[in-house]
Amino acid sequence: MTIRSQLLKGILDGCVLAVIEKEPVYGYELSKKLQKVGLEDVSEGTIYPVLLRLQKNKLILGEIRPSESGPNRKYYSLTSAGKVTLETISLEWNQLSVPINALLSKGDETIES
């Protein structure tokens, strides 16, 4: 496993919740959207264990209904608990990312100098 995918694993739940918050999506759509924002390392299949876990924890709700293109798809939407969790994850991420950015970018400078 690359370092990037290891880092991603911890925060993937948050990314999936964030995509679902914008509008209900089905699995294939979700993986497309994650790739579109630049998370190309996420192997497409990875989302299914994540979706199952989020459903089990009642953070999202899956519902099978007809899609625009015709066939039935399982669409996921956020539950109220999911919204709360997403807010918490965003908050925690911000608290972590600022100091880590500062620290790791500084590290680069030391090597360069």
Q: Which is nearer to other proteins, 15 or 26 (CB)?
A: 26
Q: Which stretch binds other proteins (CB under 8 A): 22-30, 33-41, 85-93, 97-105?
A: 22-30
Compute the distance between CA of residue 15 and CA of residue 17 in angstroms, rounded to an integer.
5
Compute the distance between CA of residue 71 and CA of residue 67 in angstroms, rounded to an integer.
6
Q: Does residue 53 interact with other proteins by CB under 8 A?
A: yes
Q: Does residue 26 interact with other proteins by CB under 8 A?
A: yes
Q: Does residue 14 interact with other proteins by CB under 8 A?
A: no
Residues 6+ apart with CB under 8 A from 62: 51, 55, 74, 75, 76
Which value, in Å, is the radius of gyration of the alpha carbons in the chain? 17
Q: Does residue 5 interact with other proteins by CB under 8 A?
A: no
Q: Does residue 27 interact with other proteins by CB under 8 A?
A: yes
Compute the distance between CA of residue 31 and CA of residue 9 in angstroms, rounded to an integer.
15
Residues forming the site for other proteins (CB under 8 A): 26-28, 31, 43-46, 48-49, 51-53, 56, 62, 64, 71-74
